[in-house]
Chains A and B, each alone.
Chain A
Amino acid sequence: MSIFDNLVAGLGLVANFEAFLSLFIGVIIGTIGGAVPGMSVTMTVALTLPFTFAMTPITGILLLLGVYKGGVFGGSIPAILIKTPGTPASSATVMDGYPMAEKGEAGRALGMALWASCTADLISNLSLILFAGFLASFALSFRPPEFFTLILFSLTIISGVSGKSMLRGAFSAVMGLLLATVGLDLVYGTNRFTFGDPNLMGGLNFIAVLIGLFAIPEILSVVWKPGDAHDRTRGLGKNWVTFAEYKRSFKSIVRGSVIGVVLGSIPGIGAAPSAFLSYSEARRKSPKKENFGKGEIEGVAAAEAGNNGVAGATLIPLLSLGIPGDVITAIIIGAFMIHGLQPGPMMFVTNADLIYGLFIGLIVSSVFLFFIGSAAIRVFKFVADVPRSILFPSILVLCVYGVFAVNNNIFDVGVMFAMGALGFVMLRNDIPAAPFLIAYILGPMLEDNFRQAMLMSGGSPWILVSSPITWVFWGLTALTVTAIVRAGIKAGRNAVQKAVTEEG
């Protein structure tokens, strides 16, 4: 089928009131979740996931994608108004957004953040449509050795760039892979770490693991340091962004979007580095570079473009290769799995209508984001004033209902709390949770492809270096490890030098 045929089939699937309503509600939920200080897009997407069980696949996945899109923009609202980034990626927006708010120009900063976000979102979605199908058709020729090396490369890069140290990321990923071995063996059906408990034979429930890892530690963090107070919310001011200002910042917005697309399509990098890189590039190229950091509107535009440019691009590896690029897409893969779908190159053959339906939904989400974002800017004060002592007990109850609803099993609720405790320990020790979750998802695929490759070769490991594609992935893995280790050694030397200078 041609792209046009696929688009028509996708439109047939998505052109109904239910699908667009769910996308619209998703963007609202995401914008609120991103805007509430203390919540995160990841947690919001994770908590929305249980509500998709009763929906059709397209409606449920569109709801989650709406939450993702809304959440990425929503994070910029508290970043500008109360100097508290709603998401880590919004930290770059604080640098010029908050000084503008202090000058009484918060409305102007938020307006530019919205316009830049919608433009970058659109560019990112178009890139997804252009590149995902191409990459998937290339990946159709992959055999188990190619998939094994691809997953290994993805895990290496996710472990390396997710946290402050590659070793802690690697340890996190190994723990995730270990947890994925719980259950019956893939080939022989023998027990692995089931301790004779039938609840463990199918492995640990994915939703319980992810909600436990990403929602419960946030509740525990509030328990660790409670309190309802936050910084004063700044007024919006009288000025609004003008088209001339948008035009002046357009180059930075497009540059930031392209940076977002490139970094977003590489598994593991995420939105924060993209936002900071886009911001620093805009400052480097701007004739008003001395104004950056003091309330320059182009700085807000660049940071938000870099941040939102990632949102569509992270779906490229997910849809075309079945590899989640970050934690949020790892949660979205859960929605696919719940509905019996496995993202990857074969999906472009077997469920092309769904893929193209999602593409259409994503384009529409940029339009929804513009209208919902405009309203959210005005009503943020009410959202920001939700006391944490009401919000987090609500999240606790929502987690329990959501996890129980997957299998009607109280055991899963226990697993969620156990994972929450582990997640909190990891959080306190700066061990990133993202490699853990992504390794937990990719673990069975990694092992399965490895064993299939070994079966094909009769146990010879040379099959893992048997084709040019495997050489490329091994080379990229080696390059990634070298680059990250070198960066770590350099950072360590700089820290030692700084400490010596301070002591002197």
Chain B
Amino acid sequence: MIKLHRQSVMGIFAAGLGGILSFIAIPRWVATPANVPNIVLSPLFWPYTLAGLCVLAGLGLIWVGLHSNERFNEDEGEVSGAFARVFFFSLIAIAYVWALPVLGMVWASVLAFAATAFLLKSDYPKLALVCAVLFPVVLYGFFAHVAGVAIPQGEFVRLP
């Protein structure tokens, strides 16, 4: 099986992105008035130019990848369990955004802090728990009472 260099894979992605933009995304999601006097002034001109540049960069990357022996810093699989941890962090991030209006920013942050510290295999679990509670509360104090930001309070426990 032919093993493509990572630059070539990037190039295929870039050229593909340019193609999708040109044939699907720009015609569908960029609106333009019917009476534009000159093509270069149209709202479509700039996105199409960039899509073209994306394809060019992609083709360049494919060509360079075919002739390159550059080694990237780390190969996949070098760090055990890395993909699983990144996946769990993504879940934490999604849950964090979802919990902001429901639990409030402070309590959502407490949970996100604790979960991330656990994911990072903290050698100091007690300190992590203390910080997980204190740090979001201190930030709440600053942003809500000094900067005057309306921090989401959530539906359960409200802070002064």
A interface list, Cβ under 8 A from B: 51, 53-54, 164-165, 167-168, 170-171, 174-175, 177-178, 181, 185, 187-188, 190-195, 219-220, 222-228, 387-390, 392-394, 396-398, 400-401, 404-405, 408, 410, 413-414, 417, 420-421, 424, 428-431, 447, 450-451, 454-455, 458-459, 461, 492, 495-496, 499
Q: Which residues of B contact A174 (CB under 8 A)?
A: 50, 53-54, 57
In the complex, chain B residues whose CB is within 8 Å of the CB of A420: 93
CB of A225 within 8 A of CB of B82, answer yes
Task: Give the chain B neighbours of A51 by CB distance below 8 A.
Answer: 142, 147
Contact check, B21 vs A171: say whether CB atoms are below 8 A apart.
no
Cβ contacts under 8 Å, A405 to chain B: 143, 147, 149
**Total A-B pairs, Cβ < 8 A:** 199
Size of the B side of the interface (Cβ < 8 Å), in residues, is 78
Q: B146 contacts which of A54, A178, A194, A417 (Cβ < 8 Å)?
A: A54
CB<8 Å pairs between A and B, sample of 9: A167-B64, A188-B32, A190-B33, A219-B89, A389-B121, A389-B124, A390-B122, A404-B105, A413-B97
Write the chain A residue with the least CB distance to B40: A454
Residues from chain B with Cβ under 8 Å of A455 in the complex: 41
A167 CB, nearest partner CB in chain B, Å? 5
Partner of B47, one of A54, A181, A187, A195: A181
Q: Are B149 and A389 touching (Cβ within 8 A)?
A: no
Interface string of B84-120 (1 = CB under 8 A from A): 0110011001101100110001000100111011011
Per-residue interface assignment for chain B, residues 1 to 45, with 1 indicating a CB less than 8 Å from any chain A CB and 0 otherwise:
000001100100010000001000100011111001111110100
Inter-chain CA distance A168–B7, complex, in Å, is 8
Contact partner of A401 among B89, B123, B139, CB < 8 A? B139
Q: Enumerate chain A residues within 8 angstroms of B32, measured Cβ to Cβ.
A: 188, 190
CA distance A447 to B32 in the complex (A): 16
Chain B proximity of A456: nearest CB distance (Å): 11
B21 proximity list for chain A (CB < 8 A): 178
Asked if residues A410 and B100 are in contact (CB atoms below 8 Å), the reply is yes
Q: A190-B32, A192-B29 are in contact. Are A492 and B67 (CB under 8 A)?
A: yes
Complex Cα distance, B73 from A157, in Å, reads: 24
Contacts of B97 in A (CB 8 A): 410, 413-414, 417
The chain A residue with its CB closest to the CB of B139 is A401
Interface flags for B142-153 (1: CB within 8 Å of A; 0: not) read: 110011111110
- Which residues of A have CB within 8 Å of B68? 492
Compute how far the CA of A197 lies from the CA of B20 in the bound complex, rounded to whole angstroms.
21
Contact of A454 with B38 in the complex, beta carbons under 8 Å: yes
Residue of A nearest to B60 (CB): A167
State the 3 A-B residue pairs at the shortest beta-carbon distance, nearest first: A389-B122, A185-B43, A459-B38
Interface of chain B, main secondary structure: helix
Closest Cβ of chain B to A33, distance in Å, is 16
> Is B29's CB under 8 angstroms from A191's CB?
yes
In the bound complex, residues from chain A placing their C-beta under 8 Å from that of B90 are 421
A188-B33, A396-B116 provided; 7 other pairs, C-beta below 8 A?
A51-B147, A54-B147, A168-B10, A219-B116, A454-B38, A459-B41, A499-B69
In the complex, A141→B124 CA distance in Å? 60
Docked complex Cα distance between A428 and B127 (Å): 31
The answer to whether B50 and A400 touch across the interface, beta carbons within 8 angstroms, is no
Which chain A residues border B14 with CB–CB below 8 Å? 171
Q: Is B72 an interface residue (CB 8 A)?
A: yes
* Cα(A417)–Cα(B40), bound, Å: 35
Q: Is the CB of A226 within 8 A of B54?
A: no
Least CB distance from A196 to B in Å reads 9
CA distance A397 to B148 in the complex (A): 18
Closest residue of chain B to A446 (Cβ to Cβ) is: B46
Q: Is the CB of B113 within 8 A of A397?
A: yes
Q: Is the CB of B136 within 8 A of A171?
A: no
Partner of A393, one of B6, B25, B128: B128
- Residues of B near A387 (CB, < 8 A) are 122-124, 127
Inter-chain CA distance A183–B43, complex, in Å, is 11
Whether the pair A400, B149 counts as a contact (CB closer than 8 A) is no
Which A residues lie within 8 Å of B149 (CB)? 404-405, 408
With contact pairs A168-B10, A408-B149, A492-B67 given, residues A228 and B57 touching in the complex (Cβ less than 8 Å) = no
- Give the residue of B93, B112, B132, B147 whose beta carbon is less than 8 angstroms from that of A53: B147
A454 touches B122 (CB 8 A): no
Give the chain B neighbours of A223 by CB distance below 8 A: 82, 85-86, 89, 116, 119-120
In-complex Cβ contact of B117 among A220, A389, A421, A495 (8 A): A389
Distance of A405 Cα from B100 Cα, bound (Å): 13
How far apart are B45's CB and chain A's nearest CB, in angstroms?
8
Minimum Cβ distance to chain B for residue A203 (Å): 14
Q: What per-residue 1/0 map shows which CB atoms of B63-84 lie under 8 Å from chain A?
A: 0100111101110000100100
Would A400 and B105 be within 8 Å (CB), given that A387-B123, A394-B135 are in contact?
A: yes
Contacts of B53 in A (CB 8 A): 170, 174
